[in-house]
Structure 1
Amino acid sequence: MSLQMIKPPEQRSLRSHVERALSAAIISGELAPGTLLTVPTLATQFDVSATPVREAMLDLESRGFVEPVRNKGFRVTEVSDDALRELVEVRQLLEPPAMERLATMFPADRMDEMRAVAEQIVEGAASGDLQAYLAADLEFHLSLTQMLGNRLLVDIVRDLRSRTRLVGLATMLESDRLGESAAEHLLLLDHFAAGDAEAARELMHRHIHHTLGWWAGNPERE
């Protein structure tokens, strides 16, 4: 991945900008496990001082995405199949039932807003902009979860998603799989519009399962 094309942010939080860009690259597999990252090099590539880069790396370390290498920098950690499977299992226990319930009470006045976010996910997939894809995906799912009115559930889902690795995501750009996955967000909204709770639950279950399938670089049954 070339980080040289990333322009300096207009936002106040340089740390947040660096963290989001690196997080997306690690989650998607653009920065492969074992890649060594150094603060001075990243500071130059992002055109920022070393401080926000160092702070961003500490954030990524707390999520298990990187580990410090003495006198060298940080190394992108290997993905543990067992840890990923455990994350997916917990998400399957929480998110499909949540979307099943939401289908029975989805606020119609939020539909246009959520379709716009879903379209951003589709556009991110079509353009190959994985950072935009992942940002819109997170906004979409957390916004839906927030509609249930349970702040603890939102916090748990946010934490689980923040630690989920999708190392096969970058390679999906070479196929139609990423577009198919992106289109599932629009289909989920169709289920909400129809009040089809069972279909919403089944789709969310399948969507999360991609984490162990397509998004991990593994085949899935048609």
Structure 2
Amino acid sequence: MQHAGPQGAHGSPDTRAPASHPAAVRVPPQLRAADVDRGWRPGATGPAVRPDAAAGAPGVGARGEHTHSEQPIPLPRTEQARPVVQRSSVRGQILDALRTALVGGELAPGEVYSAPALGDRFGVSATPVREAMQQLALEGAVEVVPNRGFRVVERGARELAELAEIRALIELPVLLRLTRTVPPERWTELRPLAEATARAASTGCRATYAETDRAFHRAVLSLAGNTQLVQIADDLHRRAQWPLVGAKATPGRAALLADAEDHVTLLDALIARDVQLVQSLTRDHVTGAH
């Protein structure tokens, strides 16, 4: 698991330069069925309705330019029936980008961010950003600030300790049972995932490591055959990765590498069916005690 750390530098959401992780995720413009009817499709050439007009009113581009005089290109019936990018797809991409920014500290605890400003940052309308932020609010990552936007929740060490306690209560009994029942070759199959966490840790990127960290833990717990357990544990793990308010430094490359090494050591203990070692390693890993 990745331990919660401090946030990056605070800055105004309307003026700060795009951050490395979410800014690199360029979300494609939203398309609607009406846009396809007007003649635009991915890869089409010619003066059809432009994809960047999808976020605004029909016939109007993203910056208000009119397209009434442009002639649509007729599509064959088979192409008209092809599925287009739906709003849910854009919202999902925005949600992933916001989660990356949150874990990386680019969305700073206590700061308020507006949906239109974040929409400009990602090149989409405010609507999918607002929908993604509502999901983050349900997860407890942000809270709604009426007429302003969304404030990133400020978390302290006590909340992190509570999350660690709950994770240990859920994951430890499962791992102890799996230690006795899962054959060693099944654990060996998970070694590439453990190695992936080490490669991610070597980059020093907290957000990149967070994804591989959770992927490894999901794969381990999935051997229990309980989908609900995996989902609940993954949600708790994600919450534990959010930055803490007031922390002075984010976990560096050395800390991430140490955390990743825990995965390899844990796999070795599981393969050896060393119940006592699995118990101590799991408790220390979840609580952050190395």
Q: Please give the range of the TM-score, normalised by the shorter of the 2 chains.
A: 0.7 to 0.9
Distance 1:5 1:20 in 2: 12
Task: State, as a whole percentage, how many aligned pairs show the same letter.
Answer: 36
**Residue 9 of structure 1: how far off its partner (Å):** 5.0
Residue 20 of structure 1 deviates from its aligned partner by 2.3
Measured at CA, do residues 110 and 24 of structure 1 come closer, stay the same or move farther in structure 2, by a change above 3 Å?
A: farther
TM-superposed deviation, 1:55: 1.2
User: Are 1:7 and 2:85 counterparts?
Assistant: no
Task: State the partner residue of 1:139.
Answer: 215
Are 2:101 and 1:25 equivalent residues in the alignment? yes
Aligned to 1:61: 137
- 1: CA distance between counterparts of 2:204 and 2:142? 24
CA contact (8 A) 1:33 1:78 kept: yes
Given the superposition, is the C-alpha separation of residues 107 and 45 from structure 1 closer, same or farther in structure 2, using an over 3 Å criterion?
farther
Correspondence for 2:268: 190
Amino acid across the alignment from 2:139: R
Which of 1 and 2 has greater Rg?
2
3-state SS of the aligned residue for 1:191?
A: helix
- C-alpha separation between the residues in 1 aligned to 2:264 and 2:101? 25
User: Which amino acid is 2:177 matched to?
Assistant: R
Pick closer, same or farther for the CA change 1:208–1:135 going to 2, 3 Å: same
CA gap of 1:152–1:101, structure 2 versus 1, over 3 A, is same
**Which residue does the alignment assign to 1:172?**
251
Question: Does the aligned pair in 2 maintain the 1:24–1:130 contact within 8 Å?
Answer: no
**Gap regions ≥5 residues in structure 1:** 211-219
Q: TM-score, normalised by structure 2?
A: 0.64
Q: How does 1:1-222 map to 2 (within 5 A)?
A: 2=19, 5-9=23-27, 13-167=89-243, 171-173=250-252, 176-210=254-288
CA distance in 2, matches of 1:107, 1:48: 48
Q: Please, which runs of 5 or more residues in structure 2 have no aligned partner?
A: 1-7, 9-18, 29-84
Deviation at 1:204, TM superposition (A): 0.9
- Structure 1 CA distance, aligned partners of 2:214 and 2:166? 17
Deviation at 1:109, TM superposition (A): 4.3
Displacement of 1:45 after TM fit? 2.0
- Counterparts of 2:107 and 2:94, CA distance in 1: 14
Q: Distance between the aligned counterparts of 2:145 and 2:118, measured in 1?
A: 15
Q: What are the Cα deviations for residues 67-109 of structure 1, in whole angstroms up to 9, with x where unaligned?
A: 1222221111110444333222111112122222222223444
Give the drift of 1:180: 0.3
Does the residue aligned with 1:171 lie in a helix, a strand or coil?
Answer: coil
Supply the distance in 2 between the matched residues of 1:85 and 1:118 (Cα, whole angstroms). Answer: 25
Residue identity opposite 1:208 in structure 2: V
Conserved? CA contact 1:8–1:48, under 8 Å: no
CA distance in 1, matches of 2:23, 2:101: 13
Q: Provide the aligned length of Structure 1 versus Structure 2.
A: 211
Q: Which range moved further: 11-20 or 135-144?
A: 11-20
- Any idea what SS the aligned residue of 2:143 has? strand
Kindly provide the CA deviation profile for residues 15-67 of structure 1, in whole angstroms up to 9, marking residues without a partner as x. 22222232233245343211222212222222233222111100111111111
Query: CA–CA distance in 2 between the matches of 1:82 and 1:127?
Result: 29
SS of the residue corresponding to residue 95 of structure 1 reads helix
SS of 1:32 mapped into structure 2 = coil
Q: Contact between 2:188 and 2:267, CA under 8 Å: does it hold in 1? A: no
Superposition RMSD in Å: 2.6
